[in-house]
Amino acid sequence: MKKFTSVHDVPDIQQWLSEAQSLKQSPFAHKHLGENKTLGLVFFNPSLRTRMSTQRAAYNLGMNVMVLNVGQDSWQLEYSQGTVMDGSTQEHVKEAVNVMSQYCDIMGVRSFPGLKNREEDYEEKVMEAFLKHSQVPVISLESATSHPLQGFADLLTVTEHKQITKPKVVLTWAPHPKALPQAVPNAFVEWMQGGGMNLVVTHPEGYELAPHIVKDTPITHNQEEALAGADFVYAKNWSSYQDYGKVLSQDKGWMVTEEKMALTNKARFMHCLPIRRNVIATDAVIDNSLVIKQAENRLWTAQLVLKKMLETL
């Protein structure tokens, strides 16, 4: 397996879900796979869960781990071809990634979008540069437009807690003071589609996600209508895709409350974390939710992705 950047890199989702669950029973059963192998984790942006879960997953597989915080620990990178590098960038990504891949057997990279230029962000400049110039397999630790490790952990969490084969899963936009990427909702939609869930997306007008992601998933601008009969409620803020990167609404009426959850079929509340309490959802909703289970599942899903890559080295 040469890359893990989206659900489309997974040959059999149901098989992967089953294997990820198996890892929980025997976390160290594959420790031999990572012996004398090194994982490089490259962060352009902050992280708690992704960093610690992926690092722990690698240790469970017997790997060594190196973490690089670009911009703090290393040189500022240049991406353009043919540039006269007499400005602020000191190293071209071409050399940087190729060099890093000499020291690692697998690399992971996290890079958020600029949220200024939609075409640029959706071209995935940083992730594509890593895929192009790395000599070793690359894992997305969240890119400009997707967060596949989160989507995989979320699908595993829904799978473990669902009471029926095809539960109603509602992805609801929620307010936030700052412009946030579409990476998590994009990944959530794709993994729920891939897992065969009955997904409904709800958001205020103007917050439509990319059509190539949503496809024929039902969308409503009426949050209460969407929540009726829901088995899972996944809240997330994202900035506008059409009016790219803009915050069009901070309507507190979209916050998930106990009253909103009462409209559902005793739904379980989910969020990728970090979450702003009493902005996205109330304390009571968060305290009675699956957020810690989701975060725990980040470990097992990351471990499975690393295991698949180690098996094909």
Which residues contact ligand CP (rule: CB under 6 A)?
47-50, 142, 150, 272-274
Kindly state the tokens that stand for 101: 């891949």
Q: Could you tell me the smallest distance in angstroms from the CB atom of residue 152 to ligand CP?
A: 12
Nearer to ligand CP, 264 or 289 (CB): 289
Nearer to ligand CP, 233 or 264 (CB): 233
Kindly state the tokens that stand for 161: 């807690």
Q: Could you tell me the smallest distance in angstroms from the CB atom of residue 52 to ligand CP?
A: 8
Nearer to ligand CP, 30 or 51 (CB): 51
Nearer to ligand CP, 263 or 273 (CB): 273
Q: Which amino acid is at 91?
A: E
Q: Report the candidate in 215, 148, 247 with the shortest Cα–Cα distance to residue 188.
A: 148
Q: Could you tell me the smallest distance in angstroms from the CB atom of residue 91 to ligand CP?
A: 25
Q: Could you tell me the smallest distance in angstroms from the CB atom of residue 44 to ligand CP?
A: 12
Q: Report the candidate in 75, 54, 77, 76 with the shortest Cα–Cα distance to residue 66.
A: 54
Nearer to ligand CP, 92 or 298 (CB): 298
Q: Could you tell me the smallest distance in angstroms from the CB atom of residue 297 to ligand CP?
A: 11
Q: Could you tell me the smallest distance in angstroms from the CB atom of residue 6 to ligand CP?
A: 15
Nearer to ligand CP, 16 or 43 (CB): 43
